[in-house]
Amino acid sequence: LRDGPLKGKRILITSGPTHEPIDPVRYIANRSSGAQGTAIANALAALGADVVFVTGPADAARPRGVEIVEVQSAREMLEAVETALPADAAVFAAAVADWRVASASDSKIKKDGMGKLPVLEFAENPDILATVSQMKAGRPGLVVGFAAETDDVVAHATAKRERKQCDWIVANDVSPETGIMGGSENQVVVISDQGAEAWPRMGKDQVAKRLAAEISTALQE
Ligand code: C5P
């Protein structure tokens, strides 16, 4: 066991995008780099936690000194999360695809040569954060979700916290003029049953460190 205030605590993190298959060679994805989730995993490991890092196919270098579970799709991510539980805390930083292709083709979809276009039908993916938040048995003691918003950040994130029933929501404004998406800085509002706390703008690594410290404090209580 590692030393530090989180020694002996098991913490699950989801991170990165998911890839939803269209056929064996094509997929639908999003632009999540996995940077913030990776920084949080590193910060929690530095405090001595046993971290399980469930990641979609992200560009970011994998965190060090943690257990890594690689998945592709949202449904695989949910399965990996359920396998990794129980945990003392869970942080859901992944950008999970809301929809998957309803019936992905087993073989590569071909052009028919007559100009007929394929039509994709979608099905809704499971909401991993809501599923874990609403577990009747074995729910982690602290469940943290994220919310990327472009307007009315606090109102939308507060509603999201209530709808999903997580303990904290880390919300940020990803409007293009903030330069946050794809940048190295972040400005977040942390919403809990204590209300909304706006943190100053700081590096994503600093956000990760402060969040890890607050998780540590919450788990000691
Ligand atoms: O509803 P929205 O996607 O904005 O919620 C964001 C939060 O929910 C993030 O913590 C994200 O990881 C989580 N989420 C999830 N499974 C989904 C969709 C979102 O765990 N299918």
Q: Which of 98, 127, 191 to mutate to test the pocket of ligand 1 (most atoms within 8 A of CB)?
A: 127
pLDDT of amino acid 181: 77
- pLDDT reading at 163 higher than 70: yes
Mind giving me the DSSP string for 6-33? TTT-EEEEEESB--EEEETTEEE-----
On whether residue 143 sits in a domain, the answer given is yes
- pLDDT reading at 32 higher than 70: yes
pLDDT of amino acid 220: 94
CA 144 to ligand 1: nearest atom: 10
**What is the average per-residue pLDDT within 86-91?**
98
Distance 100 CA to ligand 1 centre (A): 14
- pLDDT reading at 68 higher than 80: yes
Residue 179: give its domain's CATH number: 3.40.50.10300
Cα 37 to Cα 63, 151, 189, 220: the distances in Å are 9, 23, 17, 22
On whether residue 191 sits in a domain, the answer given is yes
Pocket of ligand 1 contains residue 53 by CB under 6 Å: no
Specify the number of domains making up the chain. 1
Instruction: Give me the helix-helix angle, 35-46 and 204-220, nearest 10°.
Output: 50
Pocket of ligand 1 contains residue 147 by CB under 6 Å: yes
Helix (H, G, I), strand (E, B) or coil at 59: coil
On whether residue 107 sits in a domain, the answer given is no
**What is the average per-residue pLDDT within 168-180?**
91
* Parent domain of 201: 10-102+120-220
On whether residue 112 sits in a domain, the answer given is no
pLDDT of amino acid 221: 86
pLDDT of amino acid 159: 97
On whether residue 196 sits in a domain, the answer given is yes
215 is in an annotated binding site: no
Binned at pLDDT 50, 70 and 90, residue 48 comes out as very high
CB atoms under 10 Å from CB of 126, counted, come to 15
Q: Which of 96, 135, 188 to mutate to test the pocket of ligand 1 (most atoms within 8 A of CB)?
A: 96
How is residue 178 written in tokens? Answer: 């903030």
CA 149 to ligand 1: nearest atom: 4
Predicted TM-score (pTM) of the model is: 0.96
Burial class (CB in 10 A: 0-12, 13-18, 19+), 38: buried
Mean pLDDT for all residues in the chain: 95
On whether residue 2 sits in a domain, the answer given is no
CB 171 within 8 A of CB 178: no
On whether residue 114 sits in a domain, the answer given is no
pLDDT of amino acid 1: 61
On whether residue 192 sits in a domain, the answer given is yes
pLDDT of amino acid 40: 97
Distance 106 CA to ligand 1 centre (A): 28
Pocket of ligand 1 contains residue 58 by CB under 6 Å: no
ipTM of the complex: 0.97
How is residue 185 written in tokens? Answer: 């800085």
